[in-house]
Chain A
């Protein structure tokens, strides 16, 4: 494969890594712009989401916002910004932040809004103020969902930043776009692999962070639930066969057929 060889050769050339506009420099820029975009989105979406969830409002607002931004092409926003004179990495960060807001906002609203009413009542009963309840009860309980939203947003930003290369931004996407523009498809392929690798790597890392972000009590709870479910499965599986009466849980009432 000529192109695969070309890509390997491109990746093997140390000049492509260290020089000006090398992989290292571009990857750093990529990560910095992404971090700025995620930070910006967090600054806007997190307070709004926590507040809306706390007041039990805006569940539909989150969904509506998420769906409208899905329809707006990233490229359109980038070109619109670029065409009106906003070039470079600031504009990129801004545009990407717009796309990172919906998942963070929606998950914060659903997470905080979904906290058990009994728990909230208990917190109020022992005399917690609204703010204290939010910080010590609701946010920790909603942490898994909030973290998942941030992860989704961050990965999305990381995947969007390369597009800015089309309108003059600098990121790992630059390698791909230049490759296409100069018809060096090996270089484009190498750039594509680098971008994909970066995204998958960060996604994996964030998945780890997400797991650690959940409070210890919740993690223990989840583990217990999982092992309970497994134990229940083991316990009911053999017992179901001889008893054609309704099985607990209502999954299968007919003993002769395989359980779904």
Chain B
């Protein structure tokens, strides 16, 4: 479709009519976007947990692990997709690998911060009760690190939602696909709808994860209230800022 005089006459940024006519497309791309995000974050978490645990158990490895994920993070997404695409093909796999690699740095760093931030007294108590190193990690340190892990998950999810759009270069960018199509055909409503949906998706995912975090740490609510009375929780703030 060429943007003729008709399009120039009426090209609103928001149009309900667009949604009604293209509901199926919009839904499909939103679905693609959200499943891609979900898969990427889940895989990244599955990779990040052992990596961070390793870096925590062997502090000597913490430097290399963080530096390695940091270098991956510095490589721009466009470049990464360009390097991956010839080997993993055009489409889903390439985008997924890229997203996982980017989510990795945030997750590894936050899990590590959480594990290292465990109160030494708690660790001592566990050791005094005869906990071995591995059992302490799984039974004591990991649950204690849940708030930091959830913070990392929220950060990773929100940035992954934004990053999926870059998948356009390999033809699998979820809502980015709509954005780009709208740009190509100079259809303002399409660009705007995709953008708003992206923001909404990020917001909803963030809220959901926040809820999950609350449900996972019932003990936090009591101490959270106490902390709120005494001032903000410094650990959470630090994790957000990093």
Contact = CB atoms under 8 A, between A and B. Distances in A.
Interface string B66-84: 0000010011111111110
Query: Is chain A's interface secondary structure helix, strand, loop, or mixed overall?
Result: helix
A71 B203 contact: yes
A180 B85 contact: yes
A235 interface: no
Interface residues of A, number: 55
A250 interface: yes
A123 interface: no
A176 B169 contact: yes
Interface string B167-194: 0111001001001101100101001101
Given A71-B202, A180-B169, A257-B127, A199 B80 contact: no
Interface string B108-132: 0000000000001101100110000
Interface residues of B, number: 53
A173 B77 CA distance: 11
B79 A195 contact: yes
Contacts of B241: 63, 106, 110
A27 to B, nearest CB: 13
A76 B85 contact: no
Nearest to A175: B82
B195 interface: yes
B47 to A, nearest CB: 21
Given A80-B191, A251-B120, A253-B124, 16 more contacts: A70-B202, A71-B162, A72-B195, A75-B166, A79-B182, A82-B183, A83-B188, A163-B77, A166-B169, A180-B170, A188-B82, A195-B78, A196-B75, A199-B76, A200-B71, A254-B124
24 contacts: A66-B240, A67-B158, A70-B158, A71-B206, A73-B162, A73-B179, A73-B198, A74-B166, A76-B191, A155-B74, A160-B76, A163-B77, A165-B78, A167-B183, A176-B81, A180-B82, A185-B86, A188-B85, A188-B86, A192-B81, A194-B79, A199-B75, A203-B74, A253-B124
